[in-house]
């Protein structure tokens, strides 16, 4: 896609935010409006999230990102134009004007060894992700834009009737990610669960752990504003890791609350490699430990295989991305439980396209839980 040359007339153009390279100032560009390919669609963007992934993109911490890129991987929009019927998995036709989100992953082949034999579709080498592995050269395939193109085969999911944009976007990518982590954890009725991390993934893991039958969930995280949400969302107790800086003291905090045994399940959602060792120390013998926070390579840690894994009889599980099923079921759960958990309150600030840099800075400073880009605010 060519950038707009202001000397040429461009009747049908839209604006988008472009990240040209790591740490380069974001650019607000005017580009030709996207046209759907056969079997595809375009959406008028209503809201797109700014999340930790976008901060990683900005810092150049993700491998193989095709800059320049339009960021924004989880979004809500209205169907503007389709080329052929657009259907969802449940009700069939999704008409023009419908408020939808979409599974941000496409290109998963269903034919490779990972897809067919290992049944690990999130590790399919052909898998692409909107706003993360899609460069501007390929089209408008990120959410920080007035209009986005849905490639043929992208799975759309209409928002359930009583779910608002703010409800869904308050969950954002943390909703299906936290859901997937809890599925991996196989929480049993009556379990005591520790969630390490009070960002969007940790907060959603806290919610779904309760819905999965946990007796209680303890949350370690920071800063205070995020921990206040953890309390509101049902954490029995929270520990501020900014105040309690000694990991041994944090482990003791968990052990004191579990008769010295440790938690049945620990879900790591911090992004800090040191948290993995700390989490294993918090785990009871025979417990399950899910690592979902290490989305980028933040370095190595030393653990003791005898003490942390073998003798502890620990199950340690990684959790990479999410499949369509996690998005679908987590949205149904959000619709059912939206009054109890009020995900919409996680949306801390909203910015127009022209202020995307401020949104990114907020996210980087952890000053917010969820920041949205709303192109409509520019008008
Ligand atoms: Zn595949
Ligand atoms: Zn995200």
Cα 287 to averaged position of ligand 1 atoms, centre (Å):
32
* Closest ligand to the CA of 113: 1
* Closest ligand to the CA of 130: 2
Cα 51 to averaged position of ligand 2 atoms, centre (Å):
5
Cα 300 to averaged position of ligand 1 atoms, centre (Å):
29
Cα 112 to averaged position of ligand 1 atoms, centre (Å):
4
* Closest ligand to the CA of 53: 2
pLDDT value, residue 5: 53
* Closest ligand to the CA of 75: 2
* Closest ligand to the CA of 123: 1
Query: Could you tell me the two tokens for 192?
Result: 């005591």
* Closest ligand to the CA of 111: 1
Cα 178 to averaged position of ligand 2 atoms, centre (Å):
12
* Closest ligand to the CA of 129: 2
* Closest ligand to the CA of 117: 1
pLDDT value, residue 298: 92
pLDDT value, residue 7: 53
pLDDT value, residue 1: 40
pLDDT value, residue 2: 42
Tell me the C-alpha distance between 21 and 32, whole Å.
Answer: 21
Cα 26 to averaged position of ligand 1 atoms, centre (Å):
33
pLDDT value, residue 3: 47
| 3-state SS record for the chain | CCCCCCCCCCCCEEEEEEECCCCCCCEEEEEECCCCCCCCEEEEEEEEEECHHHHHHHHCCCCCCCCCECCCCCEEEEEEEECCCCEECCCEECCCCCEEEECCEECCCCCCHHHHCCCCHHHCCCCEECCCCCEHHHCCCCCCECEEEECCCCCEEECCCCCCHHHHHHHCCHHHHHHHHHHHHCCCCCCEEEEECCCHHHHHHHHHHHHCCCCEEEEEECCHHHHHHHHHCCCCEEEECCCCCCHHHHHHHHHHCCCCCCEEEEEECCCCCHHHHHHHHHEEEEEEEEECCCCCCCCCCCCCHHHHHHCCCCEEEECCCCCHHHHHHHHHHHHHHHHHHCHHHHEEEEECHHHHHHHHHHHHCCCCCEEEECHHHHC
Q: pLDDT per position in the chain (379 positions), as tens? A: 444 455 555 569 999 999 999 999 999 999 999 999 999 999 999 999 999 999 999 999 988 899 999 999 999 999 999 999 999 998 789 999 999 999 999 999 999 999 999 999 889 999 999 999 999 999 999 999 999 999 999 999 999 999 999 999 999 999 999 999 999 999 999 999 999 999 999 999 999 999 999 999 999 999 999 999 999 999 999 999 999 999 999 999 999 999 999 999 999 999 999 999 999 999 999 999 999 999 999 999 999 999 999 999 999 999 999 999 999 999 999 999 999 999 999 999 999 999 999 999 999 988 788 999 999 887 6
Cα 321 to averaged position of ligand 1 atoms, centre (Å):
14
């Amino acid at each position: 896609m060519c950038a707009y040359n202001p000397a040429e007339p461009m009747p049908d153009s839209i604006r988008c935010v472009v990240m040209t390279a790591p740490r380069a100032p974001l650019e607000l560009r005017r580009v030709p409006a996207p046209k759907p390919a056969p079997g595809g669609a375009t959406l008028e963007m209503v809201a797109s999230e700014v999340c930790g992934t976008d901060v990683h993109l900005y810092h150049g911490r993700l491998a193989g990102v095709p800059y320049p890129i339009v960021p924004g991987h989880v979004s809500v929009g209205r169907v503007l134009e389709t080329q052929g019927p657009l259907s969802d998995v449940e009700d069939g036709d999704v008409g023009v004007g419908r408020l939808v989100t979409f599974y941000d992953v496409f290109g998963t082949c269903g034919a490779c060894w990972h897809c067919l034999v290992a049944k690990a579709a999130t590790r399919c080498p052909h898998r692409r992700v909107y706003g993360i592995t899609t460069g501007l050269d390929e089209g408008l395939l990120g959410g920080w834009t007035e209009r986005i193109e849905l490639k043929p085969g992208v799975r759309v999911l209409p928002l359930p009737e009583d779910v608002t944009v703010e409800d869904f976007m308050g969950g954002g990518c943390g909703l299906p990610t936290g859901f997937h982590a809890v599925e991996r954890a196989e929480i049993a009725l009556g379990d005591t669960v520790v969630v390490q991390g009070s960002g969007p993934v940790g907060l959603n893991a806290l919610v779904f752990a309760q819905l999965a039958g946990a007796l209680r969930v303890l949350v370690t995280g920071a800063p205070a504003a995020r921990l206040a949400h953890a309390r509101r969302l049902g954490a029995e107790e929270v520990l501020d890791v900014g105040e309690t800086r000694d990991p041994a003291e944090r482990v003791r905090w968990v052990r004191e609350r579990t008769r010295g045994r440790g938690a049945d399940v620990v879900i790591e959602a911090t992004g800090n490699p040191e948290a993995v060792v700390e989490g294993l120390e918090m785990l009871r013998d025979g417990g399950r430990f899910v690592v979902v926070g290490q989305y980028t390579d933040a370095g190595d840690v030393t653990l003791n295989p005898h003490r942390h894994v073998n003798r502890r009889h620990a199950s340690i599980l990684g959790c990479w991305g999410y499949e369509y099923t996690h998005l679908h079921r987590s949205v149904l759960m959000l619709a059912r439980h939206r009054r109890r958990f009020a995900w919409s309150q996680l949306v801390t600030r909203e910015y127009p396209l022209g202020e995307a840099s401020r949104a990114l800075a907020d996210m980087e400073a952890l000053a917010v839980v969820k920041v949205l880009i709303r192109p409509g605010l520019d008008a």
